[in-house]
Amino acid sequence: MSVSDSDDERVRRSRRRREKKQRPFWQELPILVVIAAVIAALMVTFVGRPYVIPSQSMETTLHGCAGCTGDRIYVQKLSYYWGDPKPGDVVVFVGPPSWNTHYQSIRSDNAVARGVQNFFSFFGLVPPDENDLVKRVIAVGGQTVQCCDAQGRVLVDGKPLDEPYARYLLPYVPGQPYGPGGGREFKPVKVPEGHLWVMGDNRNESADSRAHITDELQGTVPVDNVRGKAVFKIWPPSRIGPVRSENAQAN
């Protein structure tokens, strides 16, 4: 046998070994699906997940309303592994107990369907079954917040905030206490450490910290309830763009 014949035989044997090792795609597909599912679960658990805006409380920063196509936002968790939310951050959080009076589960009454929903929620394909809300951080632990000064502005530690993102549908009427769809004024609240005072940008249409000022936490939200920071609008295409943190205390 010549050297050339020997080389050809080695090449053929090597090709046959590679062909034996290669699996058909249909055998590899389940493995790829499992890998993708594990990556998705890790992303949802530790990095972030999408949320849908269901109401108009954050107009015009975030769009949402009953019966319309609400913005889909991406909420990342990484920022708050090394620090707490800052004034001006737009955050998604789980409502404290007094905020959940009218919350209705989004899960099916059918046990099988509910199990499927919970399974896909684990991978970020179905919303979690909890009262997730989105608001802007106005004051943090140790600060005192109240409204209003003579111009109807919110004050933090006695300093009025210039809030370009805030939307008021009605003029300020001194002496008119806060009510969803109504007045602005609320008494001073000292935010406890580890808590946040949050408000919707659409001030006349947001049931936020102001609406819960008489509860045991005086309307504040524990930092531990925060799911993450809204950073990007991912849907619909016409509204794709960043969700900006605007710290009115820095103005």
pLDDT digits (tens, 9 = 90+) for 75-96: 999 999 999 999 999 999 999 9
pLDDT given at position 127:
74
Phi-psi region of 226 (alpha: psi -120 to 50; beta: other; left: phi over 0): beta
pLDDT at 69 over 90: no
Tokens of 228: 């993450």
Question: Percentage of the chain with pLDDT > 70?
Answer: 88
Residue 17 lies in domain:
3-250
Give backbone dihedrals phi and psi of 221, rounded to 5 degrees, phi first. -115, 125
Domain count, the chain: 1
pTM value? 0.83
Confidence of residue 3 (pLDDT cuts 50, 70, 90): very low
pLDDT at 137 over 70: yes
Q: What CATH number is attached to the domain comprising 54? A: 2.10.109.10
pLDDT at 20 over 60: no
Task: Point out the residues that are catalytic.
Answer: 57, 135
Digit-coded pLDDT (tens) for 164-188: 999 998 889 898 888 776 689 999 9
Digit-coded pLDDT (tens) for 224-247: 999 999 999 998 999 999 999 999
